[in-house]
Structure 1
Amino acid sequence: MPRQEKNATARTLYRLVDVQNLRSVIRERYVGEAFTMYDIAVGGREALLVLGAMVTEHAKWARDIEELTGQPAVVGNMTAAGALIIRRSDRGAWAVTFGMGFQLIDQALVDSSFGQRIAIRLGDPTKISSITRSAIDAGARVSRVTVPTGDGLSRFGFESFGEMVTRLVVRGRVPGLTHDGDVTVRGADALNIPLGRTAADLVADLDCIEALLATEPPEGMQVLEQLVPVRKPATRVSALDHLLAEALTAEDRDHQLALSWPFEHIGDNAPPTHFKLLSSGTGRGGASLREGLPDLDDLLAPLGRTSAPLDRLKQMRIQLFGSAEDDDPVSSAIPARKWLAFETPFDGKRYCLFDGQWFQMEDQYADQLVALTEEIFRKKFETVLPAWTAEFDEEDDYNKHLAAELGGICLDRKFVHTTAHKRGFEACDVLLRDGTLVHVKKTPKSAPASHLFAQALVSTESLAMHPQAVRQLRELVQEQGGDPTWVKDRPERVVIAMARKNPITAAGLFTFSRVTLVRAVHGIASRGIDVYVAPIALER
């Protein structure tokens, strides 16, 4: 019996936005003799069919063969590519690609995370087989976890805050699609899903998918859509950048603009004491070494003198140094944009700039973050920490005073070295007699405290997991004149102390500082360790 042909087949689908005309979707390099364009109609919709081949006369690996063997290797490639562009709305379109057809599409017009949003809505929460996720914390971690048989989110170790999904593979079904039954759907920017084989069925499936986008995610899947990176369309990114430019040059500074701390670009290096503000065309020697750490005014001052602040921002870098010596850098020259934190509403949604990248954030996500941060702040450390007065010029001066007042020992800028942390890490700024680890940072209004939170988490995890770190810390304490028995086999209490003129609040922290705090506190508390956020009055 002949095999019955299916009425739907798996296709790669893109959702396009800001499409002026269908031909503008095709990248300029593929408009020419090698590709033919046909203005057609599909299911009564305006459409464009592009067909051709990408020809390489001499394959890249052919030269390797010639060098290895001495034998001429005259061999090339011809790769077929096709794309069917179908009008979706006045300024939108669909792109169904075939073979290498995805190369034809102008990626600036692609609706970012479209495939992921569809996969979230049609997927069964218990039948997720693969998640690719990225964390926004002390490292730019990207991981893919796969469970071939499929499972729920808990099996993947997905965290509600500070992680975002960039690709999802899940089984599910959508009533109304030509393919009537469960399907495996792969979603990222593009969507891989069975679509109708006839023109009428294809258009009907596209309408069904468009309608699905307007629905809410099913129970158990909402968490996957709370934080989404914004890379496209170019017009949305451009509009957000325009709002950023206005904030950078505004006389009445928006409270949602601040200096961030790109700690993932610094890692375990020694704490910085000086910095340079560099510009394109000048080397390290062309900028003066400044004492202390950069603040928002340092970054904004050069921008206020230009009509194109974002162009000027692109030319700027900040490099950190561990001493007053020009040859002692503790970081690379970090792009100035990565030092900015900015939050703004746009088109009915909320967006944040973090580490130079835009993110869209659900209101519910932001509200939950504030609630969790407030809960953390409500837990009070029983000891009132002494004020940071004008007599303490440096953080080290205050920490020595704090240690003396509380009967502990100052370990500021004293490093514990292990095989896992060869460059060393700060166990704490002050160690108390009962083993409490106190981390201290002056957090002025313009600077989120993300670095402090991440530092506390790294220290606690290292001491809780690595006996070598505990032994090294005991030796360090003894060298500094303290009692090594103060160091517990594993930490029992951690205090994150922030000095600020006005007490810091949950609402006063930027979104990504809240993310880092929640992740740090939950990570520490999950090991049975008490953690407190304590204020220090900053008196000037």
Structure 2
Amino acid sequence: MKTQRLTIFLLQQISEPGDAIAQGKSPVALGLSPTSGVEGTLYYLSKPPRLPAWVSYVKEIAPSIPNLTSSSASGVLIVHAHGRHFALTFGYGRSLLDMSKVERQFGLRVALNRIDPLQLRSMDTKTFDDLVVTRTLQASKSTDLPTFGVDISKDILRAVTGEPRDTSLSKRLSGADALVLGTAKKASELEKVLGEALDAFTEETYKENFAWIDHLSLVTDSTLIDGLDQLVAQQLAAGDTSGTHMAMPDPLSWEDIDAFKITSSRTIFQELDLDHYLDSLGDGRSTITLKILKGRQVSAKFLRSGEYDGRWSLYNCLISEQRVGGQLYVLIEGPWLAVSETLAEEVDNFATSLPASRAELGRSNRGETEPDYNKRIAAGGSGELLCLDAKIHAPGGANSGIELCDLLSADGEFFHIKRKSRSSTLSHMFAQGSVSARTFVGDAAYRDALRAEIIRSVDPTEQQKWLDLVPPGNEVVDRSKYTVSYCVIVGSKKTGMDWLPFFSKLNLMQHGKQILSLGFDLSISRIDVAT
């Protein structure tokens, strides 16, 4: 029997099927047969045939090409079964659905509760910092979790595909917000399929192998959600972006993106930057409300069509961290998540346990670039600091260079310096610290190249003290002599380590543990900006 692919969303409580249709969409509504045994409504929309943009483009050099046309159809089947409403999308049907009415992580929970943990095929993860990194990991055949190299304390699982223990529902399940499966059951048997999916959603079998996904739990208290939303809106209206930035909710191919446009701004954005957007609003920034954040649309212009496609609401592009009553909450792609106390405490304790740098480098001037800062501080360091910024050497067998540090102190501190601003991220700096430390210890050719750079660029009367810090390739590195010191240039009034966002601190902990395991000391400091 032919297998039908089903994409199933569980809806939040709605009064009638039409409540799940996105505003501005006007699909045709079609009632289901009373004798079908399925209660619901089918919504569909069909676009007339049109000439694809690529045909017009190639017609100049291939004038005999016929006027090829293509059309698209969208369908959403809203079904009421087992006391809940479900949405099954077909074709481009997801574009008709109001995604704010969707029960988040429904498909993910169903899949994790039913998939055999030894029969995984793919995983989608996101790592959140000042930069959002999306990864799709696929295996050539079914395998277990360790094969995918997922860091359970850092990566957030968005989607999973695998083979279930019991194949009565489907031979393979994929789950994110939607559950995707292949079924041989007829449409008249949908109530049974949806009942099995709903049962799987309420199970807690996933905790046997995937309990780590609860490091971030979905916030369902509407009063709390409203309070967090209002807090973000108030901060943005005041121009405070210290805890919030923007990112694409869905992975798109950058090679196909030309630009972005956001409702209410005439500016064309090359990337989604919250500060840039707020600046573009001028005095209109102060009028920002939650309704505006959810009502304004973010559109992407694709090179293949040359047209702007409304993809998300502005609200769904926000990544925010807020602390309320001692609890840390994060807004990620629409839903609010509560960070488990265990993880939050571990991350905060690690960050606060780190000492500040032994050397006080001094404030950064307003508008001063990182290279200029490094050069100025090194020049004023009375010969105790060596600027190695942009002095990059490729280690043995590597295709790209690795910078040891920005500044090297005479007592063995490797200073990695980064300005935290609207367009920069700290993740690269933290990674640079751990990678350069490992390379310094393990790559003899790398150290020899560093020594050659010192001999080439440093005054002969000053060379020896720096050469003493970089052992030749044939000598063993005394790791106890060195400290990896992260220094962040940031204008912030926050005290303690609160100036560093949670996901940045999580990133720091991951790389910091690697550095400490190598036998290096570790420190982190804030460099204030002169007013």
- In the superposition, the TM-score normalised over structure 1's length comes to 0.64
1:94, distance to aligned residue in structure 2 (A): 0.9
Contact map agreement 1:82 1:98 (CA 8 A) in 2: yes
User: Out of 120, 123, 126, which is 1:131 matched to?
Assistant: 123
**Alignment check: 8 A CA contact 1:463 1:469 kept:** no
Q: How many angstroms apart in 1 are the aligned matches of 2:52 and 2:416?
A: 57
1:342 to 2:321 alignment: yes
Quote the residue 1:370 is aligned against.
Answer: 345
2:504 aligned with 1:513: yes
* Alpha-carbon distance, 1:198 to partner: 5.4
- 1:532 equivalent in structure 2: 522
**Correspondence 1:22 to 2:17:** yes
- Residue in structure 1 matched with residue 303 of structure 2 by the alignment: none
Mapped contact 2:354–2:524 kept (Cα < 8 A): no
- Write the deviation string for residues 459-489 of structure 1: whole angstroms up to 9, x where unpaired: 5425644968656654554524453522356
CA distance in 2, matches of 1:377, 1:172: 43
Query: Percent of pairs identical after alignment?
Result: 19
Deviations 1:392-434 (A, max 9, x none): 9996699559955xx842428x322457999998643542346
Q: How far 1:437 sits from its partner (Å)?
A: 0.9
Q: Among residues 438, 442, 451, which one is paired with 2:415 in the alignment?
A: 438
| Total equivalences in the alignment | 462
Aligned: 1:171 with 2:166 = no
Match in the other structure for 1:411: 387
CA distance in 2, matches of 1:51, 1:263: 31
Q: Can you list the C-alpha shifts for 1:250-282, whole angstroms capped at 9, x where unaligned?
A: 89x9xxx73579999xxxxxxxxxxxxxx9679
Q: Which amino acid aligns with 1:511?
A: F
CA distance in 2, matches of 1:236, 1:126: 38
Query: Is 213-222 or 163-172 further displaced after alignment?
Result: 213-222
- Give the distance between the partners of 1:263 and 1:422, measured in 2 at CA: 30
Q: Does 1:385 align with 2:385?
A: no
- Mapped to 1, the partners of 2:180 and 2:212 lie a distance apart of 22
Distance in 2 (alpha carbons) for counterparts of 1:262 and 1:27:
23
Q: Is the 8 A contact 1:40 1:48 kept in 2?
A: no
1:372 is displaced (CA, Å) by 4.2
The match for 2:435 is 461
1:221 to 210, 214, 218: 210
**Cα 1:30–1:494 shift into 2, 3 Å:** closer
Distance 1:199 1:338 in 2: 36
User: What are the within-5 Å matches in structure 2 for residues 491-506 of structure 1?
Assistant: 493-496=483-486, 505=496
State the match for 2:304 in structure 1: none
Correspondence for 2:80: 87
- Any residues of structure 2 matched to 1:256-275 within 5 Å, and which? 258=242
Shift of 1:13: 1.0
The alpha-carbon distance between structure 1 residues 460 and 537, as it changes in their structure 2 partners (threshold 3 A), is: closer
Partner of 2:175: 187
- Distance in 2 of aligned mates of 1:38 and 1:389: 71
Task: State the 1:155 CA deviation.
Answer: 0.8
Distance 1:199 1:390, change over 3 A: closer
Are 1:425 and 1:459, in contact at CA under 8 Å, matched by a contact in 2? no
Which amino acid letter does the alignment assign opposite residue 139 of structure 2?
V
1:330 corresponding residue in structure 2: none
Q: 1:385–1:536: 8 Å Cα contact kept in structure 2?
A: no
Amino acid at match of 2:346: A
Tell me the equivalent position of 1:361.
337
Q: How far apart, CA to CA, are the structure 1 residues paired with 2:24 and 2:527?
A: 61
In structure 2, relative to structure 1, the CA distance for the partners of 1:89 and 1:222 (3 Å cut) is same
Greater shift after overlay, 384-393 or 369-378?
384-393
- 1:152 maps to 144
2: distance between equivalents of 1:172 and 1:502?
A: 51
- Give unpaired runs (5+ residues) of structure 2: 249-263, 269-274, 297-313
The 1:261–1:10 alpha-carbon spacing in structure 2 relative to 1, beyond 3 Å, is closer
Question: Match for 1:432: what amino acid?
Answer: S
Tell me the C-alpha RMSD between the 2 structures: 5.6
- Kept in 1, the 8 Å contact 2:40–2:79? The answer is yes
Deviation at 1:221, TM superposition (A): 1.3
Amino acid at match of 1:97: T
Please tell me the residue identity of whatever aligns with 1:415.
A
